[in-house]
Structure 1
Amino acid sequence: MEVAEIQPWLFRVEPYEAESLSHFLGRFRRANDLTPTGLGKAAGFGGAIARWEKFRFNPPPFRQQLEALATVVGVDADRLAQMLPPAGVGIKMEPIRLCAACYTESPCHKIEWQFKATNRCYRHKLHLLSECPNCGARFKIPALWIDGHCQRCFMRFTEMVNYQKSVEV
């Protein structure tokens, strides 16, 4: 009798509107108890996941990589591409930035917060935060955002909206 190869199954994670690839990959990995290396191996391209989680897109993901990742995570490759910065848009790897008002509405890191040209939330007319207003700790990469709070003092991101300054128009 021949033993059939057992295919692993994975929990699906639905992406949020305008979610960054870093945040999505972290949520997917946690739901499936995977490391960045494990997810990269499942997709067939090794260490790229760890780079992408840190906003290191040089070189940017190839279409074949996005299609292989799409097969593993169960999200269309075009949808994954929307989680990346548009071609020609500069991105800041550090500091990680946050609009707590946006996070309150949709608990995810938005890719546009890392654009070099972005220094405020245009929707809420607030300056972006780059550190916890309570303890001053810089935000970790979004892939590590587990419960939406500062990893040092545990202040919730949703509470930080009270510390965001309005943008003078």
Structure 2
Amino acid sequence: MEAIDIQPWLFRVEPLEGESLSHFLGRFRRANKLTPNGLGKMAGLGGAIARWEKFRFNPPASGQQLEALAVVVAVAGDRLQGMLPPPGVGMKLEPIRLGGACYAQSPCHRIEWQLKRMQGWDRHQLRLLSECPNCGARFKVPALWVDGWCQRCFLGFGEMVKYQKYL
């Protein structure tokens, strides 16, 4: 009997405008029932996926790594590059921040929210949240945002806009 090399097929997931790489990777993995290590093995990236989901970009993702990921997720490498923080711009790893008004319009984590220079979101003139305004729980990394609500009290991210303060 001859062994057949069966290639896995994957569901396509389209990135959302402004979406962070962490959030996109989590959505892609869930749609395809993959772990961070499983996706890393498929792309030949080892543990890089798990690091990137936690905004750990030291060392930074190389063009070669992004192209390898692009082949697996069927998204152009330059589009993946746009999900990363701009070169030379400081980024906050923690706490994870959220703009409730923006999330209500487009349910995804935006990479801009994690930039050190961002205290608020200019588009809505509101301060970013770093914890649930209802129960005080810190937000999990965006790759783990499955249902769009606080993991402790279940307040929806879009509903948190009423707790955000103006800039």
TM over 0.5: yes
Give, as a single letter, the amino acid of the residue that structure 1 aligns with 2:102. C
- Tell me by how many angstroms 1:5 deviates: 1.4
d(CA) in 2 for partners of 1:14, 1:97: 23
- Tell me by how many angstroms 1:2 deviates: 4.6
Give, as a single letter, the amino acid of the residue that structure 1 aligns with 2:24. F
For these two proteins, the number of residue pairs brought into alignment is 167
Match of 2:111 in 1: 111
Q: Secondary structure at the match of 1:66?
A: helix
Aligned residue runs from structure 1 range 44-59, under 5 A: 44-59=44-59
Unaligned 5+ residue runs, structure 1? none
Q: Secondary structure at the match of 1:156?
A: coil
d(CA) in 1 for partners of 2:5, 2:53: 31
Match of 2:41 in 1: 41
- Tell me by how many angstroms 1:147 deviates: 0.7
Give, as a single letter, the amino acid of the residue that structure 2 aligns with 1:59. P
Match of 2:63 in 1: 63
d(CA) in 2 for partners of 1:62, 1:88: 14
Match of 1:79 in 2: 79
Residues 45-93 of structure 1: CA distance to partner in whole angstroms, max 9, x if unpaired?
1000010001010111111110010000010000000000010001000
- Tell me by how many angstroms 1:3 deviates: 4.8
Aligned residue runs from structure 1 range 1-169, under 5 A: 2-167=2-167
d(CA) in 1 for partners of 2:2, 2:153: 55
d(CA) in 2 for partners of 1:55, 1:2: 44
d(CA) in 1 for partners of 2:158, 2:61: 32
Percent identical: 74
Q: Secondary structure at the match of 2:27?
A: helix
d(CA) in 2 for partners of 1:158, 1:124: 13
d(CA) in 1 for partners of 2:52, 2:3: 37
Give, as a single letter, the amino acid of the residue that structure 1 aligns with 2:67. E
d(CA) in 1 for partners of 2:155, 2:11: 29
d(CA) in 2 for partners of 1:45, 1:24: 17
Give, as a single letter, the amino acid of the residue that structure 2 aligns with 1:166. Y
- Tell me by how many angstroms 1:4 deviates: 3.6
Unaligned 5+ residue runs, structure 2? none
Give, as a single letter, the amino acid of the residue that structure 2 aligns with 1:95. P
- Tell me by how many angstroms 1:146 deviates: 0.3
TM-score (ref. length: structure 1):
0.97
Residues 16-59 of structure 1: CA distance to partner in whole angstroms, max 9, x if unpaired?
00100000000000000000000000001100001000101011
d(CA) in 1 for partners of 2:22, 2:163: 25
